[in-house]
Structure formats: C-alpha cells, structure tokens
Amino acid sequence: MSSDKNMQRFGKVAVLMGGSSAEREISLKSGAAILDALKTSGVNAEAIDVSDDVFSKLKKGAYNCAFIALHGPLGEDGCIQGGLEVMGMPFTGSGVMASSICMNKLMTKQIWSGSGIPTPKFRILDANIDEDELVTDLGLPMIFKPVSQGSSIGMTKVSNKSEIAAAWASAHQFEETVIAEQWIQGGEYTVGILNGVALPVIRLETPHTFYDYEAKYQSNDTQYHCPCGLPEVLEKKIQALAIEAFNATEATGWGRVDVMLDKNSKPWFLEVNTVPGMTDHSLVPMAAKESGISFNELVIKILATSFKEDSETFSTATSSKISEIRNAV
C-alpha cells in the first residue's frame, strides 16, 4: 500500500482541521500529524483550516477526497459531512446521521438504551433542578455533561448536593442541553474501531477525578495500558460489545468507543467518538501500534475507508478477526 502508485489512487486530499469549536487547538495538532503522515506516505495532501468558505476552497482546489480531522461541533456533528455529501466528495469517518447521533451524548444513550447496550442511568436537566429528586434517582456521586462537547469539556463530577448548581452552570455555558449521569466507579477503558474491527483495549489511569481535558492532552501523569491487563475473554467481550455499540449508531469507517468497567466487571458504555484525536497523546494510534500498525499506516487505512472498494477489501481481509472476537463472547 506504500508505493507511489497506490498513493496516487487517492488523488488530491484535503485535510480538514481547525474550525471554530472549543477543540480547535487539538484539531490543529491532529490535522498536522495526519498531514505529515500522508505526505510521508506519498499522498498529495494539503491542509485546510476550516472556515465559512471551506466548500468553495474544496471546489477551487479540485480536491478528490477529504480527511476530516475536525473535533467538536461542525466537524463531528454531521455539518461538514452533509456539505461533502452534496459535493459528492468522499470523506473519512461516519456520515451525516451517525455523526449527528454520536456527537450528541443524549441521543447516543437513548439509542443504546433501546438496543440493550449497557449505559449509565441519566437525567436531562434544565435550570429548575429538583436536587433532592435528582440525588434520589441517580445517587451520588454523579457527573454533569453538556451533550455535544468532546474532550470532556464542561464535565464536572458532583460528590454532594451543594455542588449541583455550579456543575449545571459549568456545563450549560457550552450549550443548552445538559445531562446528569450515574457515576460508575471502576476502571476507564477505550476501544478503537477500524472498519469493523476492534483494536486492542486500552486502560486509562489518571490521578485526576476522571479522564478530563487536562489528563487527555496536557498531563504527563496519565498512564495508558495496552495491553490493558484484562483476562482475554473479558477483553474480547468488551471488544464485541464496543462493535455493537458503534454499529447501533450507524457509525462507519473508524472511531473510538469509551467504556467503564465496574467492580463486578460489567462494562458500561459512555459515548462514541467519530473523529478521535490523532495527536501524540491519542488513543487510537496507541491501540493500532499494539496491533502492529504504525501511525502512517493507520492514517492510510483510515483514508482508504472513504472509498467503498477499499473498505470492502479491508473488511474481507479482517473478517476472520471479527468472527473470532464475536465467537469468544
């Protein structure tokens, strides 16, 4: 796949990065790493810092494909995907509907709840919170989340009733809809998905209250364990359920599914990230490396999933792995 001839089949690739969301800086880092990998592999790629005229830039530049490296609203919520579909331009990752669903934690959890996929109990909140009722329903601690922000932005752990108002205000400053979610005490794990295949599970260990923005992108104290240290049967069960959770939202191509494992080793699924980070702290590249896939190879495999024929070939080549995972449950 690394020959110049193979790389030429992608044509001219636009790496879409930046944008205006709260995750802009992370997106620029992901985009820069992706761009470097594409160029190193011989792909004709250029960066576009996304703004209002992005579609005219794509048309004027005569690009053949878009590698989406945008995080947060606009890039992950189906907006950019819709414009690209109208243009008829292939792009990496999920389509409009799945992107919109996965960007919205509430919609994702509602779909999972109806599909039998375990996800923590939750409540939709507004300014008129009945604190006693909320505590009775979800217990303490709990966690407050704005429903459509990534990178743990706006999230707060609530350990007692007196913290509820401030936690709601912190989340509400980012968007109108806020949820409170039952706190699952246990280990934090994540599962990368690459074209229908679950990558090795990563266990996250941080001295922070949870795997928040600082732990993800700034802290040197966060530890990543891959192999994750779980018994093989349990890891395969989590992988199989992660694929089900991913597919339930109709997500495609690649992504990441976050999960908690409680004291009884029961997995609880939190969210799907349809455009995971691709920085030096990022998790999908780490899991891919454990599978023997270098960063440059991973970027090319992700790009290849934007073309139907490449996705089918890749899926056929790895179908035995999928069967092995599912049959182990």
Q: What pLDDT, in 10s, does the model give residues 49-74?
A: 999 999 999 999 999 999 999 998 88
- pLDDT, residue 150, reads 58
Q: Which CATH architecture has domain 4-92?
A: 3-Layer(aba) Sandwich (3.40)
Measuring CA to CA, which residue among 175, 214, 251, 218 is closest to residue 21?
Answer: 175
> What pLDDT is recorded for position 210?
52
| Second-level CATH architecture of 121-182 | 2-Layer Sandwich (3.30)
Please list the residue range(s) of the chain that carry CATH number 3.40.50.20: 4-92
Question: What stretch(es) of the chain map to CATH 3.30.470.20?
Answer: 186-327
- pLDDT tier at 253 (50, 70, 90 boundaries)? very high
- Taking phi over 0 as left and psi of -120 to 50 as alpha, with beta for the rest, 252 belongs to beta
Task: Report the pLDDT value the prediction gives residue 113, as an integer from 0 to 100.
Answer: 96
What average pLDDT does the segment 240-259 reach?
Answer: 97
Give CA–CA dist 215/238, Å, rounded.
23
Query: pLDDT over 70 for what percent of the chain?
Result: 86
Q: Say what the pLDDT of residue 21 is.
A: 85
Please, where in the chain does CATH 3.30.1490.20 lie? 121-182
Reference 14, options 50, 51, 42; nearest CA is: 50
pLDDT of the residue at 74: 87
Active site residues: 23, 151, 217, 256, 258, 271, 273, 277
Alpha helix (H) ranges present in 173-261?
A: 213-217, 232-248
Give, in degrees to the nearest 5, the angle at Cα 266 between 322 and 284.
45
The terminus-to-terminus CA distance of the chain in angstroms comes to 33
**Class of domain 186-327 (CATH, top level):** alpha beta
**In a 3-state reduction of DSSP, which class is residue 297?**
helix
What was the pLDDT predicted at 222? 82
- Average pLDDT of the segment spanning 192-221: 75
